[in-house]
């Protein structure tokens, strides 16, 4: 009998939302049960088996010294380490603090900010350890997780889509909300993976799956201005969900208010 691959799921600084797609696999997990052993998954079971692990899926960003210590330990125990979700890939929504004075952020959020320990920044895993795979999304798509596991079982390199949300919209025969309603939809510059969820309900894409491959952000920013958005509104679109993705961050900086502009 072929030995099962040993899989672990870890959480760092995050909302835990990227662990839920594992639980939502349901019947698919039963199909994989003959080939996969879930050795460590605190959200699903209190039974934790020690490493080493064949594959570790890690959600959450790195935002404190304890996170750094833990992710290095996970890396040492794991053959294939996969960052799942935008917190693990880019630092997550909490990376909004990266460009602000940390003391001011803590004082604005917590009644006793002096008790808060942490780094002034939130970053993705790859800033601290080598990462073998990246699955974007907020949350990550369960189909992408399943495909990744199956690829490992088959000994193949996982394929990650480089398409944009625009293509998913076309495949669903959605009416383009930019053309029809003048909505500044980020689907033209965002990676596919959500199935064009928001545009399917006549809402603009929020960019949850991060920048698509080689996005033309200058053209999208110009489109936003033509649709009536102010410079501040343009930069806020890039800083909404995936603010620390390099491409979004650099484009947002072009439209950030200058000192004295408010």
175, two tokens: 């009416």
Can you name the residues that pair with 83 across neighbouring β-strands?
58, 134
- Over residues 32-73, the pLDDT tens digits come to 878 899 999 998 888 889 889 999 999 999 999 999 999 999
Q: How confident is the model at residue 257, as a pLDDT?
A: 74
Q: How confident is the model at residue 45, as a pLDDT?
A: 85
Q: How confident is the model at residue 262, as a pLDDT?
A: 52
Q: What is the C-alpha separation between 199 and 211, in angstroms, rounded? A: 17
For the residues 165-190, what does the mean pLDDT come to? 95
Q: How confident is the model at residue 242, as a pLDDT?
A: 93
For the residues 70-77, what does the mean pLDDT come to? 97
5 pLDDT above the threshold of 70? yes
- Over residues 192-244, the pLDDT tens digits come to 999 999 999 999 999 999 999 889 999 999 999 999 999 999 999 999 889 99
Q: Is the pTM of this model over 0.95?
A: no
15, two tokens: 């909302």
């Amino acid at each position: 009998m072929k030995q099962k691959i040993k899989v672990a799921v870890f959480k760092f600084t995050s909302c835990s939302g990227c662990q839920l797609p594992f639980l939502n696999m349901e019947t698919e997990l039963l199909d994989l049960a003959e080939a996969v052993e879930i050795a460590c998954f605190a959200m699903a079971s209190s039974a934790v088996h020690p490493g080493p692990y064949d594959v570790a899926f890690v959600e959450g960003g790195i935002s404190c010294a304890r996170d750094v210590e833990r992710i290095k330990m996970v890396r040492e125990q794991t053959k294939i380490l996969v960052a799942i979700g935008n917190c693990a890939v880019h630092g997550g929504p909490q990376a909004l603090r990266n460009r602000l004075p940390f003391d001011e952020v803590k004082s604005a959020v917590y009644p006793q900010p002096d008790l808060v320990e942490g780094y002034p920044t939130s970053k993705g895993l790859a800033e601290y350890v080598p990462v073998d795979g990246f699955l974007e999304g907020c949350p990550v798509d369960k189909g992408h997780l399943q495909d990744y596991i199956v690829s490992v079982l088959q000994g193949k390199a996982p394929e990650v889509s480089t398409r944009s949300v625009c293509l998913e919209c076309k495949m669903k025969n959605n009416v383009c909300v930019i053309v029809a309603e003048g909505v500044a939809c980020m689907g033209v510059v965002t990676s596919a993976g959500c199935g064009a969820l928001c545009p399917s309900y006549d809402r603009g894409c929020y960019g949850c799956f991060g920048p698509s491959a080689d996005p033309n952000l200058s053209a999208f920013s110009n489109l936003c201005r033509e649709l009536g958005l102010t410079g501040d509104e343009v930069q806020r679109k890039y800083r909404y969900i995936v603010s620390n993705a390099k491409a979004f961050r650099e484009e947002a900086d072009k439209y950030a208010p200058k000192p004295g502009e408010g």
